[in-house]
């Protein structure tokens, strides 16, 4: 399919350097499943019953007990287990063996795997449809010690397949391979196609090409988590194999010993050195910490700590969702991340150009992800000495915690009441996320104050008048506290 002239892809394929096959064309009946809310709700269960390998991880489902979008959360290490083709009689057939065992009762066998206290409400008709539409499968049980493959079509040409099990013979394999190269480079100096490039290519939406993984919200989150662990493992593997070029024997021993307070050589052993380029590593965090301290040494204490939060109702996100007839914006995590990155850059440019808080001398920001998956940006702002806040009255010119006048400032009033109202919590809602031991962790409601002042520790206590009131859509009166 040709790409329209107005569309050019760069980040996903590195301007044409990455060339991989697109997803195969699915039948209309199969694509219609992705409009079935029941199927999408339990898609991870439906897909796992047809998986030839089990996804092994400590999945935390408790995070989805309260309000908010679905989040796939794991802890610990991820593993993919093929399992035995001769299963334990007490557990019964599972995963790969279901392709070989009692295929006349395949639907019942697959549903039986999910028996348990947290059994999902699966539809047998959907399972039957999936069984009937899985590509032709070969049910030859390999002899002990041999290798086999499950193929589609004639097994004399093993080029189209789902999973191939083979030795390190150099034969082609499904998925990423260290032998994959960038298209525009040839010869011994050709660069490898990294795991990050591979997954970036596959999770990129393309005009006119339907992708089943992008159309499956909950399964897509699991896919992203799995992909991220693969990318991280590949980076760690590269670092462990290139320790000499990273000067580990000159740097790691000295730094690690001093950081732990060791003064004797017997405590310094051989370790894998993680450079500052490894995101999230100790040296990565320490390097950025030193950069922040260097800015403080030059410009002094910061003046403003600003939190910039993602909003799924931004017109850019809504326009994309309306264009492709999507319902839940949280199912398109990549769109949220891209739009948020653009917004963060625009936000920082606005602070520097508009000079809302004065002339900006320096700034720092870090992006974090909330428990429900939406990103937010914490920004530290240093302003010129002439613009610094020196008195409590100066705070009121930039910051207020009071409800605005709905007549004088209707747009600001709508934004504040829709996005920045805490609660209700306390006796009105004892199950609110902020409640702990019967009290609000954010210390709401706060006391009314006639004026802004600095407390003994230097923190700002904002003015909160008792005049303004507002009625929420739930019928609960709220005010400035």
pLDDT in tens, 324-345: 778 788 788 888 888 999 999 9
CA dist 57 and 363 (Å) reads 39
150 burial level (CB within 10 Å; 0-12, 13-18, 19+): buried
Helices (H), 207-313: 217-241, 248-259, 282-299
Q: How many CA atoms lie within 13 A of 141 on its CB side?
A: 11
CA dist 242 and 273 (Å) reads 10
CB neighbour list of residue 11: distance below 8 Å, 6 or more residues apart:
200, 204
Closest CA to 12 of 322, 338, 319: 338
DSSP conformation class of 480: -
Q: Name the residue with higher pLDDT: 33 or 170.
A: 33
The per-residue pLDDT for 109 is 80
Place of tokens 């996005």: 419
CA dist 376 and 292 (Å) reads 19
The secondary element (H helix, E strand) that includes residue 28 is helix 28-32
The per-residue pLDDT for 134 is 64
DSSP conformation class of 446: P
pLDDT tens by residue, 63-111: 777 667 788 888 878 877 776 666 667 766 776 677 767 667 788 888 8
Helices (H), 49-114: 106-112
* Coil vs helix vs strand at 115: coil
Contact 76, 57 (CB under 8 A): yes
- Calculate the CA 466 to chain-centre distance: 42
The per-residue pLDDT for 343 is 96
The per-residue pLDDT for 382 is 95
Q: What is the pTM of this model?
A: 0.77
Name the pLDDT band for 116 (thresholds 50, 70, 90). low
The per-residue pLDDT for 264 is 55
Average pLDDT, the chain: 79
Closest CA to 363 of 379, 340, 350, 378: 379
Mean pLDDT of 263-274: 62
Q: Name the residue with higher pLDDT: 285 or 429.
A: 285
Share of the chain above pLDDT 70, in %: 76
The secondary element (H helix, E strand) that includes residue 304 is strand 304-309
Contact 146, 165 (CB under 8 A): no
Q: Name the residue with higher pLDDT: 265 or 370.
A: 370
Say yes or no to pLDDT of 2 above 70: no
Say yes or no to pLDDT of 208 above 70: yes
Contact 375, 310 (CB under 8 A): yes
């Amino acid at each position: 399919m040709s790409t329209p002239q107005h569309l050019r892809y760069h980040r996903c394929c590195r301007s044409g350097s990455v060339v991989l096959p697109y997803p195969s064309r699915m039948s209309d009946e199969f694509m219609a499943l992705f409009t079935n809310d029941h199927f999408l709700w339990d898609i991870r269960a439906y897909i796992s019953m047809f998986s030839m390998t089990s996804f092994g991880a400590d999945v935390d489902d408790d995070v989805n007990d309260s309000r908010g979008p679905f989040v796939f959360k794991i802890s610990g290490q991820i593993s993919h287990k093929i399992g035995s083709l001769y299963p334990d009689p007490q557990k019964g057939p599972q995963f790969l063996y279901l392709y070989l065992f009692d295929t006349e009762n395949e639907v019942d066998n697959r549903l039986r795997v999910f028996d348990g206290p947290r059994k999902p409400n699966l539809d047998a008709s959907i399972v039957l449809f999936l069984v009937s539409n899985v590509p032709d499968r070969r049910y030859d049980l390999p002899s002990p010690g041999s290798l086999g493959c499950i193929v589609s079509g004639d097994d004399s040409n093993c080029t189209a397949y789902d999973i191939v099990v083979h030795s390190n013979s150099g034969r082609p394999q499904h998925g990423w391979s260290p032998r994959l190269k960038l298209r525009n480079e040839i010869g011994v100096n050709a660069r490898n196609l990294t795991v990050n490039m591979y997954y970036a290519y596959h999770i990129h939406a393309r005009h006119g090409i339907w992708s089943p993984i992008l159309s499956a919200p909950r399964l897509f989150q699991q896919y992203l988590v799995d992909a991220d662990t693969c990318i991280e493992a590949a980076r760690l593997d590269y670092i462990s194999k290139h320790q000499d070029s990273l000067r580990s024997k000159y740097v790691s021993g000295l730094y690690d010993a001093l950081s732990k307070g060791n003064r004797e050589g017997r405590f310094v052993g051989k370790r894998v050195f993680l450079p500052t380029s490894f995101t999230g590593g100790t040296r990565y965090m320490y390097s950025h910490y030193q950069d922040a301290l260097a800015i403080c040494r030059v410009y002094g204490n910061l003046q403003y700590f600003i939190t910039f939060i993602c909003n799924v109702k931004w017109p850019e996100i809504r326009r994309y969702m309306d264009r492709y007839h999507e319902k839940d914006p949280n199912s398109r995590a990549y769109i949220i991340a891209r739009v948020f990155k653009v917004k963060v850059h625009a936000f920082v440019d606005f602070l520097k150009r508009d000079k809302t808080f004065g002339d900006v001398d320096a700034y720092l920001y870090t992006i974090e992800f909330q428990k429900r998956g939406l990103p937010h940006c914490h920004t530290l702002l240093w302003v010129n000495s002439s613009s610094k806040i020196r008195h409590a009255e100066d705070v009121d010119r930039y910051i207020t915690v009071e409800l605005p006048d709905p007549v004088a400032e209707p747009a600001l009033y709508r934004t504040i009441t829709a996005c920045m109202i805490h609660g209700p919590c306390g006796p009105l809602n004892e199950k609110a996320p902020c409640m702990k031991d019967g009290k609000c962790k954010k210390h709401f409601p706060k006391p009314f104050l006639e004026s802004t002042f600095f407390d003994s520790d230097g923190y700002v206590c904002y003015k909160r008048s008792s005049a303004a009131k507002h009625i929420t859509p739930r019928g609960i009166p709220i005010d400035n506290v």
